[in-house]
Amino acid sequence: MRWVAALVAAGALVAGGGWVLRADPFAAPTASTTAQSPARTGLAQVTKGTLSARTLQNGTLGYAGNHQIVNRAAGTVTKLPAVGQVVTAGNVLYRVDGKPVVLLHGAVPIYRSLSWGADGADVQQLNAALVRLGHATKDQLDPGSDYFGRATYNALRDLQDRAGLEESGNLALGQAVFVPAKTIRVLKVNAVSGAQTAAGTVVLEASSTARQVTVELNAGRQSQVAVGDKVIITLPDGKTAPGVVSEVGKVATTSDSGTTIEVKIRPTRPKQTGSLDKAPVQVSIVTGTAEDVLSVPVNSLLALAGGGYAVEVVDAGGEHRLVGVTTGLFDDSEGRVEVTGDGLAEGQRIVVPAS
């Protein structure tokens, strides 16, 4: 790492006949401030542009959501989906006693049979599901209605016909399961084909098909990350994909690795993340941005004895001088820092440690 220069009182001389440092290092350059340092160095440039502050974290790439599929039909399991299989709402998810159990989209777990005259939140989500699947139009059936009437009856009969169920127009308990995802991906199969299953048994576990990265962030850094922060995800093969922070946890958990909160990230180009599940990735979260600013390599900063920093500027004629700077945004991933200072300009050459 770059040597750190501490400015000392006037007249002090670094051993070996190097720098003679003045008490006021930001005065006009003189012979005493232009002597060469004995340290091996190279040159870099002051640049102008956009700088981003980032935090680098390890994460896990997979799929959003973790849904338990609770069976409501008692009998013998006769068909189950495979792990990794994708099932869309409106299709048969599994079978009990040879009868289809249909997947429907909704957040309210089914807990009763539904028939003409019923009302409630579960009826409303059934109406919405039937319209969404095309078994009725919005003109025929109000998706916001919580009443089971003739339109629900007719649309439900159409769904039952397509699924291979008896066209009763009533939704018997056990004929369908509601999951808060329009399409699911089977993560785990708990039931066994040919075995008996009881109502209330978790037969499957599933996720949505939406891609998601999860980061276990040190709880002390919670304030550094916010919903909407832009993210670059580095995949196991070295390729990258953009993303955005979608959720920052508020409940901390403690383990052997410390106290952490869960941060969820939504890839904005999910196809670029492939299909890997539970894959380790590196996440660069942009926590701040400064536009149209001067920046220098972090290792060009010289710490001053009285506090603050300076950089060593090399003029066109080869003359060296110190310029005091105030630091701003740090971009750890690029190794640069935003700086301001009198006499500092884009394109100037500054001293850095030799590579």
Q: What's the mean pLDDT in 314-330?
A: 94
Give Cβ neighbours of residue 94 (< 8 Å, ≥ 6 apart).
Answer: 71, 77, 79, 80, 81, 101, 191, 203, 204
Q: What is the pLDDT of residue 20?
A: 31
pLDDT at 101 over 80: yes
Does pTM top 0.75 for this prediction? Answer: no
- Cβ pair 281, 61 in contact under 8 A: yes
Position 8 confidence tier, pLDDT thresholds 50, 70, 90: very low
Tens-place pLDDT, residues 153-180: 999 999 999 999 999 999 999 999 999 9
Residues paired with 95 in a beta bridge: 79, 100
Exposure of 300 in the CB half-sphere (CA atoms within 13 A): 28
Tens-place pLDDT, residues 122-157: 999 999 999 999 999 999 999 999 999 999 999 999
One-letter amino acid of 132: R
Q: What is the pLDDT of residue 19?
A: 38
Helix (H, G, I), strand (E, B) or coil at 222: helix
Distance CA 355, CA 342 (A): 28
Structure tokens at 190: 């708990």
Q: What is the pLDDT of residue 55?
A: 82
* Torsion angle (degrees, nearest 10) of CA 132, 213, 82, 191: -90
Q: What is the pLDDT of residue 38?
A: 54
Which one is predicted more confidently, 300 or 9? 300
The helix (H) or strand (E) run that includes residue 312 is: strand 309-314
CA 246, 249, 255, 259 torsion-angle sign: positive
What DSSP string describes 111-172? -S-B-TT-BSHHHHHHHHHHHHTTSS-TTTS-TT--B--HHHHHHHHHHHHHHT----SSB-
Residues paired with 101 in a beta bridge: 94
Which one is predicted more confidently, 202 or 5? 202
Tell me the helices (H) and strands (E) count for the chain, helix number first: 2, 24
Q: What's the mean pLDDT in 63-89?
A: 96
Tens-place pLDDT, residues 237-286: 999 999 999 999 999 999 887 999 999 999 999 999 999 999 999 999 88
Label residue 24 exposed, middle or buried (CB < 10 Å: 0-12, 13-18, 19+): exposed
Structure tokens at 292: 């149209």
Exposure of 19 in the CB half-sphere (CA atoms within 13 A): 19
Length of the chain: 355
